[in-house]
Amino acid sequence: MTQVGTAETGQGDTGPQDARPGALRAVVRRAIRAGSRPGPWKHGPVLAALAVLLALFMLLHARIPNRIGNLGSLAETFLPWFGLFIPVLLAAALWRRSASATAALLLPVVVWGSLFGGLLGDKSHPGRDLTLVSHNVDADNPDPARTARDLAASGADLLALEEITAQAQPLYEKALAKAYPYHTVLGTVGLWSRLPLSDTRPVDTRQDVGPLGDAKPADEKMSYNRALRTTVATDHGPLVVFVAHLGSVRVSPANGFWTESRDRNARALAEAIAAEHDKRVVLLGDLNGTTDDRAFAGLTSQLRSVQEAAGDGFGFSWPAAFPIARIDQILVRGVQPDSSWVLPATGSDHLPVAAGISW
């Protein structure tokens, strides 16, 4: 009996002793798995890297080279839209529960805000001496007379039109004659005014000599005028007004972002404005580019954008159906921008842009 009891006691003690090491091993395995599982700061390293790259891209956009397909100018044309990547990356970071990616997104938010945050608020203020309107009326506009009536209803004191065809010019002149007793048309650009005009002349934006001193091929010279300069007599003295329509741009797989004609026109126009001795200068026109584009450095170094100084929002003007860029500009020097806005569609593929200025 003693032996049996001893055996039973020994057998009963063996089970718990064997179970303890197994339970200990299970605890250790769970601890190892928990320790090896990445925490919220280790999730989404790729998303964090993309957030940093997006911030650097926007911050250093001026250093993107134009040597290959004008990539720098192309990026600068649509630079505000790169902010749309921020909510996309934020949604991915939240889905991945990545604290590091969420924190890294503060960088592009700060960069985008420093570049474009000032455009979001309304900077306009009351009181203006002149109202300016500029509009590319579109050579294929199906109803020029209606477009002219819509523009006259805006109450503009100075109305600049670009892309005027020979067939449509009489229609614009007839429709605008009552509201604007003074006007001038040179080539495809014109200015209608409630105030007297004088010293009107064409501006040669062809720049027959290229930036490297090479002569421009004869077949690249424009056969018609695309810019003019005139003087408006105001109660506060003369105001020099330029109206311009710079060369078109193209995007293609072979050439990338082709801007050669536009850039050449912009350089020539900047030289013409630099030669002006009058302090008060206004530039109205379709520049086929945004003021963020480095190609317009010669112009923006001399003139202020009314949209940036006194606008409400980005003021996108093209294409009219779904505007994604402001390529129609009103730039000034020596006068005070008071307000800037975009007018409703008129039948053109551009929207008219307007501004109020004072002395």
**Chain position carrying tokens 């193209």:** 250
Percent of the chain whose predicted confidence (pLDDT) is above 70: 84
pTM: 0.84
Count CB neighbours of 311 within 10 A.
25
Same domain? 180 vs 291? yes
Q: Collect all residues with Cβ–Cβ distance below 8 Å to 136 and sequence separation of at least 6.
A: 161, 162, 163, 245, 286, 328, 348, 349, 350
Q: Are 206 and 316 within one domain?
A: yes
> If DSSP codes are grouped into helix, strand and coil, which group holds residue 105?
coil
Poorest-pLDDT segment among 91-100, 132-141, 186-195, 335-344: 91-100
Helix %, strand %, coil % of the chain (to 5): 40, 25, 35
Q: Where are the alpha helices (DSSP H) in the chain?
A: 2-36, 45-59, 71-77, 85-96, 99-104, 106-116, 144-152, 169-176, 260-274, 297-300, 306-310
Domain count within the chain: 2
> Do 80 and 213 belong together in one domain?
no
Residues 168, 85 share a domain? no
Q: What is the pLDDT of residue 225?
A: 85
Reply yes or no on whether the pLDDT at 37 is more than 70.
no
Taking residues 333-340, what's their average pLDDT?
97
DSSP string of 189-226, one letter each residue: EEEEESS-EEEEEE-----SB-TTSPBPPGGGS-SS--
**191 shares a domain with 52:** no
The whole-number pLDDT of residue 29 equals: 66
Which amino acid, 282?
V
User: Sorting pLDDT into bands at 50, 70 and 90, what band is 124?
Assistant: very high
Q: Quick check: is 30 in a domain? A: no
Whether 55 and 107 have beta carbons less than 8 Å apart is answered as yes
Residue 61, domain extent = 45-119
Instruction: State whether residue 350 is helix, strand or coil.
Output: coil
CATH number at residue 161: 3.60.10.10
pLDDT of residue 207: 58
Of 89, 119, 149, the last residue of a domain is: 119
Q: What is the mean pLDDT of residues 11-40?
A: 59
Q: What is the CA radius of gyration of the chain?
A: 32
Question: Are 137 and 97 members of one domain?
Answer: no
Say if 139 falls within a structural domain.
yes
State yes or no: pLDDT of 188 exceeds 50: yes
Check: CB of residue 151 under 8 Å from CB of residue 180. Answer: no
Residue 40 lies in a domain: no
Same domain? For 151 and 280 the reply is: yes
Name the pLDDT band for 44 (thresholds 50, 70, 90): confident
**Tens digit of each residue's pLDDT (9 = 90 or more) over 196-243:** 999 999 999 985 444 434 444 444 443 468 999 999 999 999 999 999
For 27-39, the DSSP string reads HHHHHHHHHHS--
Q: Specify whether 251 is located in the same domain as 182.
A: yes
- DSSP structural state of residue 246: P
Q: Do residues 275 and 134 share a domain?
A: yes
The mean pLDDT of 159-185, rounded to a whole number, is 97
How far apart CA 76 and CA 62 sit, in angstroms, is 8
| Average pLDDT over all residues of the chain | 89
pLDDT at position 78, please? Answer: 96
The answer to whether residues 202 and 266 belong to one domain is: yes
d(CA 111, CA 23): 54
Is there a single domain that holds both residue 66 and residue 164? no
- In the listed set 97, 119, 141, which residue is the last one of a domain according to the structure? 119
Which tokens is 262 given?
Answer: 């536009």
> Does residue 97 belong to any structural domain of this protein?
yes
Top-confidence residue, 205 or 29: 205
275 part of a folded domain: yes
C-alpha 306/C-alpha 132 separation (Å) is 11
Q: Which of 66, 88, 119 is the last residue of a domain?
A: 119
> Does some domain include residue 174?
yes
Beta strands 281-286 and 237-245, pairing class: parallel
Residue 23 lies in a domain: no
Task: Retrieve residue 211's tokens.
Answer: 């930036």
Query: Higher-confidence residue: 288 or 20?
Result: 288
Same domain? 220 vs 102: no
pLDDT of 267: 97
Assigned domain for 25 exists: no
